[in-house]
Structure 1
Amino acid sequence: MKKLIWFTILNTTSMVLLIASRITSDSKGFDWLIFVPAVLIVLTLIHFFVERNKLNKLK
């Protein structure tokens, strides 16, 4: 469970920092380097809750 929590925290933090670094960029149009990390954050959180439920059923 500890490994799952640390993976989620580190992955989410790195994606948030990537989004924060791209907010000040002067790109026109759709910025994929903001969209992709946002989707990865959502997928990481979904993965966390699915795996947490699996681990809780094993107890």
Structure 2
Amino acid sequence: MKLITVQRETIEEKRYTPKMGELFTKVTYIKKAFLSIPIKTIHKYRETYYGEVKDCEACSLAR
């Protein structure tokens, strides 16, 4: 049995970008878990409408 695992979770969130305004996008979180309890978010990224993968730092949750 592994004590520390890495889990991926995809959630649809509302994001805001200056160029496009508000948009709903799928955000994937990569989390470190200890005994299936999430401890820390290692990385999060989103996929654009054109299939590109971008870091979530480029857009914010609110205006």
TM-score by length of 2: 0.23
Greater strand fraction, Structure 1 or Structure 2 = 2
TM-score if structure 1 supplies the norm length?
0.24
Structure (1/2) with the larger helix percentage: 1
Larger Rg: 1
